[in-house]
Amino acid sequence: MSNQQTRYQRNLEGNTSQKPQNQESEVVDFYKLKTILKKNLPWAILLIAIAVFVAFIYVRYTNVKFQSYAELKLNKRSEASVFGFNPLKEENSNLNTLSGEVELIRSKLFLKQVIDKLPLDVSYHVIGRFKNEERYRFSPFTVSYEKSCANYDQKFYVDIIDKENFKLTTNPDEDQWINQKFGEYFTFNGCGYKLETTPHFFNTERLFFTISTPESLINYVESNLSVAPENLNANTIKITFEDYNPYKVQAIVEQVSELYTKYSKEQKNKANQLKIEFLNKQLKQTENELSNYETYIEEFTIKNKTVNPSQDVSRLISEMVSMDSILYGINYQLAEINNIQSQLDKDTLSFDKINYLVLPSNMQPLFEEFSELKRDYQMAKTRYKKESQVLLQRNLEINALKDRINNYLNNKVEILQDRKSTILNRKREIENKFNQLPAKTNELNQKMRFYSLYEELYLSLMQKKTEFEIAQAGTLSEVDILTPANLPKDPIGPSTNLIYIGSFAVGFILSFIFIGLRYLLYDEINSIHELERLTNIPIIAKISRLKRYVAKKSGVIVSEKPRSQISEAFRTLRTSLDFIGIKDGKKVISISSTTSGEGKTFISVNLAAILAMSSKKVIILDLDMRKPRAQYAFNLEQNEMGISSILSGGIHWKECINITKTENLHFIPSGILPPNPAELLEGDHFSQLLNELKQEYDIILLDTPPIGLVSDGIIALKKSDHSLFVVRADYSKRSFIDDLHRSLNLNNIQNISIIFNAVKKENKGYGYYQDYYNDNGSRSISTLKRLFNI
């Protein structure tokens, strides 16, 4: 009780608007972090568990990989040094040689020969419960097929019946199996096949085999084969191959090593010679191309009588720009003349706005004369009758002059049209020439570009030819196998421990990011401890949270459920109000919040009822004349006669009194929604109403609008003896408290306390107050809801 008394003393000393001193200085809100960790720890653990579970699934359904390797040594003898040629350092020379050999081994031509030497075209797989296993060299049968019509990359499922019979299909789900015998040719999907048993025959498991195309096999070997220089000084190369079958990786590395040794002996000398012959052929073709381009450039210059078509293009562009400028001027003059004629016909011409620059020089006197006639005509209309001879004569003169002006204008238009037609014809001629020149220019530029490319290609080919001739004369390599291909016993991956550790780390990082995002996005107040840290305003009560369906159908809880825990909370609130001096005299208490939905009206009606139960005469005024809610708690149908009618001076307050089911509790609704609720509350009628109600009632409760949305609530707070501010758990924002402090300081409001509403119920329960606290007296809560803080 000492902490509570301290807060009440702060309220009486008028220090309620001060923010806690430590709130601004904290960089990290550890209490907020602790709350978020407590709420979201199950989710963080779930993220880690999901990451570890994904790792488990990956390990469970992923085949292990094996690696085999061999080391080769290149014995290089250079004859070029006899003639004094040694332009490169020894290490760089070795690197260049080894790089060439590496590329040779990885070439598709070499890999194709490796594939032809090994039985890789048909792969045999045993179908397992969780993953399939390839059987290389230990399959129960071998497959022969017609290469011209085989169904490549198609899975053939084989169900072995016994050592002589089997069933075959390509779609086991449709149960379309065909029965065949081992050692006999049969036709399937238009192609011939034969399956023969091996010494490793077994019939306990279902298998499938796949026939691969040479291209797919080359890509397969190329993607899993690694060839790299091992030691530059020793001229060694390491060949490595990775796959899921240990016998297969050993066979491929062994075949690559042996074939490369033979290939190096047979092809090394021929390789450079073939390259030189190819370069000679390319040089001859390049010389012919260069000669053709030189002939074309010479003929182009003679035919078009120009060596620079770009200058001709620039000249034609200048002429077209000049033509466009002239056309723009003609179009402008035509538009101005058409405008003048249109206004002249409609008799709306403004003579002081005529652009005489676009008209012939003799037109200005005519327009001045026409303007003078128009003025005389207007003056004559004021002196003579409409049928007088004078007006008729003036009208004839005006029409005659108008016709004369129109003739001049039409002549001018014809002249401009003829000139425009001439210029357009000239422009079309220029455009035709222009359209031809870019094509010729592009054609010439393209030929010149190709000429330069072929010239560079010729020089490059000559350089390469020289390099290969020197290499052929100076170097002869031989290959020794230092380490033959090994049969791997232990897999290289995936590393189970590393995957689990990595998955745990990923899950932990995701959990950390999740908690961090929740921390950054968290803004609601969810505990009374957090609320006390945000403000020094005394918190005089906390009201437990109602279940949603109960809150919707409930009115005055303290009357309907007097033995509930919420009713006890309102009794505690009543005691707290007595403690801060409410019982000392007749008081006006206002109840407000920052925004709608925080339970302001719920607190108002139940507090009014609990105060009335203590033999006090209580009245509650619904001052929310914008969005009234209080009448629903008292099950009132009509809302026409209320506060708005009283404050507008149209009716006396006693005519609006509603007697509730609770003894000593009266209620005045908001009334018809007015257009100016703030002005009504600021008027003298509201002060007079409060003074008269103080004569009749012990306590006056004001259910005000939210102070964070409209100004009506602040007006009510100023006229109250004490104010109660409602904060809703897991709904009200932390910024609402800052707004409250700002409003209190700005309006110099001192006597205010906080009610913490909709607090999560602690599953502790005491005595018979559990009959409303838990539905139907049950104390059980869903384990899932309790785990995830629902």
Q: Where are the domains of the chain?
A: 122-211, 309-458, 535-787
Angle, CA of 557, 561 and 566, to the nearest 5°: 60
Angle, CA of 542, 547 and 553, to the nearest 5°: 110
- Which of 332, 409, 329 has the alpha carbon at shortest distance from 363? 409
Alpha-carbon distances, residue 676 vs 643, 673, 749 (angstroms): 12, 9, 24
Q: List CB contacts of 360: < 8 A, sequence separation 6 or more.
A: 408, 412
Q: Are 380 and 391 in contact (CB under 8 A)?
A: yes
Helix %, strand %, coil % for the chain, to 5? 55, 15, 30
The residue written with tokens 């005389």 in the block is 376
- Identify the helix (H) or strand (E) that includes residue 610: helix 600-612
Q: What is the pLDDT of residue 680?
A: 83
Q: Are 412 and 355 in contact (CB under 8 A)?
A: no
CA atoms of 86 and 494, how far apart (whole Å): 48
CA atoms of 561 and 569, how far apart (whole Å): 12
CA atoms of 455 and 781, how far apart (whole Å): 87
Angle, CA of 693, 697 and 703, to the nearest 5°: 70
| DSSP 3-state of 767 | helix
Q: What is the pLDDT of residue 123?
A: 92
CA atoms of 516 and 47, how far apart (whole Å): 14
- Which of 700, 628, 618 has the alpha carbon at shortest distance from 669? 628
Q: What is the pLDDT of residue 15?
A: 45
- Which of 754, 762, 728, 766 has the alpha carbon at shortest distance from 541? 754
Alpha-carbon distances, residue 514 vs 29, 416, 476, 506, 545 (angstroms): 17, 77, 64, 12, 28
Among the four given CATH numbers 3.40.50.300, 3.20.20.70, 1.10.3720.10, 3.40.50.1010, the one describing domain 535-787 = 3.40.50.300
- Which of 514, 508, 509 has the alpha carbon at shortest distance from 40? 514
Q: What is the pTM of this model?
A: 0.48
Q: Are 41 and 500 in contact (CB under 8 A)?
A: no
Radius of gyration of the chain (CA): 50
E strand map for 532-653: 539-544, 587-592, 618-622
- Which of 98, 136, 137 has the alpha carbon at shortest distance from 260? 98
Q: Which amino acid is at 344?
A: L
Q: List CB contacts of 231: < 8 A, sequence separation 6 or more.
A: none
* Residue 761 phi, psi (nearest 5): -75, 130
Could you state, in chain order, the average pLDDT of each consecutive group of 10 residues for the chain (790 residues)? 43 47 56 79 91 87 87 67 46 74 87 90 87 87 90 90 91 85 90 91 87 92 91 88 91 90 72 78 84 78 65 73 82 82 75 72 77 78 75 80 81 85 83 68 74 83 80 64 87 83 92 87 79 86 74 70 85 82 73 86 89 90 84 77 84 87 89 82 85 90 82 81 88 83 83 86 47 40 44
Alpha-carbon distances, residue 679 vs 517, 596, 721 (angstroms): 45, 21, 21
| DSSP 3-state of 103 | helix
What is the arrangement of strands in the sheet containing 122-126, beginning at the earlier edge strand? 133-134, 122-126, 207-211, 155-160, 165-169, 178-181
Q: Are 64 and 491 in contact (CB under 8 A)?
A: yes
Q: Name the β-bridge partners of 582.
A: none
